[in-house]
Amino acid sequence: MPRDPLVPESPVPYRGSLAQRRARLGESYVERSCGWDRTGKRIYAYNTLGFRGAEFHADAPLRVYIFGESTVFGTGLQLEDTWPVKAAGLLRQELGLPADDVCVMNFADNGASNAAIARMIVTQCSAAPPDLALIHFAEWQRTEALTDDAAIHLGPWLLEEEVRAPVRAMPDDDRDKAWCTAAIEQADRFFAFYDPALGRLAALREILLAQFFLASRGVPALAMCRRGDHPGRHGPHPILGPLATQLDPGFLLAVDFGGEAPDRAEDGRHIGPKSHDAITAQVRSHAVASGLVDRIAAAARRRLGASRPPDPASGPLPTAASVKRFYDGLPFNLHRTPGDAAAAIRRHDLAGIYPDLHARLARGRVRTAIEFGCGAGWLAATLALHYGVEVTAIDFCERALERARDVAAALGIEKRVRFVSGDLFEYEHGSPVDLVLSVGALHHTRDCAAAFTRVQRFAGENGAVFAGLYHAPGRGPFLELFRTLLATEGEDAAFARYRELDGIRATDDVLLRSWFRDQVLHPHESQHTLREVCGWLDRTALALRSTSINGFGPVDDREALFALETGFEARSRRANFEERRYFPGFFTVLAERAV
């Protein structure tokens, strides 16, 4: 049936065996256990479709889909430590694409059989075709058992006493006990009649189904399996032999899993990061030798116009490109002259704006810092001038960086602050720093959560992260006000209203215009909540120390903070519509590396 062109392509939500994941579709959330991993040592973050990882982005220039079982799901691992995510990153580098332009979707599921993997491939690649599929096929001794509302994944692990004993010990009200018990009972029935030859035949059938389906859809793909599970290794067989000859050697790769004693993930059952690195190296070598990289590169050049500058008339630009073009027109927080900016920085009142950040700086605990999205450099220069901090400031707008360097020269702090042109998803730094800052920049990337995860890693063992983001409840009324004005009365009327609200910057028309454009006309932004950000902190071993949500007060009771932030929509509506007072919907967090 042909797709309705008015309906945007989107992957199919999770339909697997875990009822709690299906029940939470439509919201992103994190948990400390997943399937049989109940160690509590790893945080699992799920997107609104019910899969582990970032949200789907329909406008991403390059889409990479991942299919498989717990190995590529990343049980006991950070998602970015799995071989498909690493391989996607290497491919992106081969193609010369920024990280912001690649959407990686992980459709793997714990315990999935090859039948479940093949079904997921057909379903998702039919719904929204990718530019590349990376697949990890499972061992043969797996199947599924159908219940009233789901398919339960079955495998040999269910025969192990170390799996069964914890299930028996679960409290009766544990939401996982029922399906764990059902899985064990179904596994007993399956393995009582299991035939290895039929298991191998079933695995080969699903691999060939995936191979021919992807080829028929023109989806470049690379699959792997353990060397011992490769269908072509068992010699002649009256049934399997002829079928095995249909396997495309460029599609299915047999890999080693780290030798006889591979490293282990946090759960103790799955292979660890070093083994995934080894697999990544094998996959990359195979992808280059088989011509897969050249094939995808050619498609990328056709789709992205890599050999010519972007043409605005050809359609919407990728997020990073559109944001860069926007700021090239007028950087954010740009004063009329470098002297005006320098004078404002000399008069700084960081304690009045961000008292928590000021307190940390004033105690002398910060000697080195990195700022991502520095713009014209006011915050980096403030840290260098008033607190003596050695600052590296990153931005991809060269016009903003030129102004920032002029301001630093006017202040005489050129030796303490270094302004670097770069993409936050690409930047590398030689050593950890005491403080990572990003105020008002991460929500202008394609994936704010991924951007936060990327930049926080530069904070050292005792380091801190200070971030400022648009607030989902508080931002809505502000945007409603100005989008209505733009649609009904035009940009001049919207600017006049903004001038009325933001009286602080009204004496400098250039500065006011730069703020208006940033707050009202920006081509891309996302909004977030403190609850959501706390999930990011949990996943990256950071502890919340303060937030503007409660006026920088105590943060011992996070649930109370989450309840407090729900009232910000009413506060914003009252301020912007009734009191005609500036309330753009913005909040900050200061977090410290948990020890």
Is residue 144 within 8 Å of 151, Cβ to Cβ? yes
Single pTM value for the model: 0.54
pLDDT band at 303 (very low <50, low <70, confident <90, very high): low
What does the pLDDT look like over 64-117, one tens digit per residue? 999 999 989 999 888 888 888 888 887 777 677 776 678 899 999 988 889 999
**Least confident range of 58-67, 304-313, 371-380, 552-561:** 304-313
What does the pLDDT look like over 385-399, one tens digit per residue? 999 999 999 999 998
> Higher model confidence: residue 502 or residue 119?
119
Average pLDDT estimate for 225-231: 80
Residues in the chain: 595
* pLDDT > 90? residue 458: yes
Best CA proximity match to 157, nearest among 196, 118, 184, 195: 184
Which regions of 91-250 does DSSP assign to beta strands (E)? 102-106, 132-136, 143-146, 151-154, 221-226
pLDDT band at 383 (very low <50, low <70, confident <90, very high): very high
Is residue 219 within 8 Å of 299, Cβ to Cβ? no
Distance, CA of 377 to CA of 384 (rounded, Å): 11
What does the pLDDT look like over 6-25, one tens digit per residue? 334 789 999 887 777 888 88
* pLDDT > 80? residue 302: no
pLDDT of residue 316: 41
To the nearest whole percent, how much of the chain has pLDDT over 70?
A: 89
Most confident of the following: 162-166, 251-255, 588-592: 588-592
Q: Determine which helix (DSSP H) or strand (DSSP E) holds 208, and give its type and residue range.
A: helix 196-217
What does the pLDDT look like over 251-272, one tens digit per residue? 888 887 655 567 888 888 888 8
Extents of the domains making up the chain: 19-304, 321-593
> Higher model confidence: residue 32 or residue 280?
280
Sorted by sequence, the CB contacts under 8 Å of residue 524 that are 6+ apart come out as 319, 322, 323, 444, 446
What does the pLDDT look like over 207-223, one tens digit per residue? 999 999 999 988 999 99
pLDDT band at 336 (very low <50, low <70, confident <90, very high): confident
Average pLDDT of the residues of the chain? 85
pLDDT of residue 124: 95
Best CA proximity match to 282, nearest among 136, 426, 166, 174: 136
> Higher model confidence: residue 436 or residue 60?
436
Distance, CA of 445 to CA of 320 (rounded, Å): 7
- Does the domain spanning 19-304 belong to CATH 3.40.50.1110? yes
pLDDT of residue 567: 93
Most confident of the following: 137-151, 305-319, 476-490: 476-490
Distance, CA of 391 to CA of 383 (rounded, Å): 7
Is residue 448 within 8 Å of 442, Cβ to Cβ? yes
* pLDDT > 70? residue 5: no
Classified by CATH at the fold level, domain 321-593 comes out as Rossmann fold (3.40.50)
What does the pLDDT look like over 343-366, one tens digit per residue? 999 988 899 999 999 999 999 889
Distance, CA of 290 to CA of 224 (rounded, Å): 14
pLDDT of residue 250: 79
**Do the first three CATH levels of 19-304 and 321-593 match, i.e. the same topology?**
yes
pLDDT band at 234 (very low <50, low <70, confident <90, very high): low
What does the pLDDT look like over 515-525, one tens digit per residue? 999 999 888 88
pLDDT of residue 119: 93
To the nearest whole percent, how much of the chain has pLDDT over 90?
A: 39
DSSP secondary structure, 254-314, as one string = EE--SSSS--B-TTSSSB-HHHHHHHHHHHHHHHHHTTHHHHHHHHHHHHHTTTS---GGG
Q: Which residues of 416-427 are buried (b: 16+ CB within 10 A; e: fewer)?
A: bbbbeeebbbeb
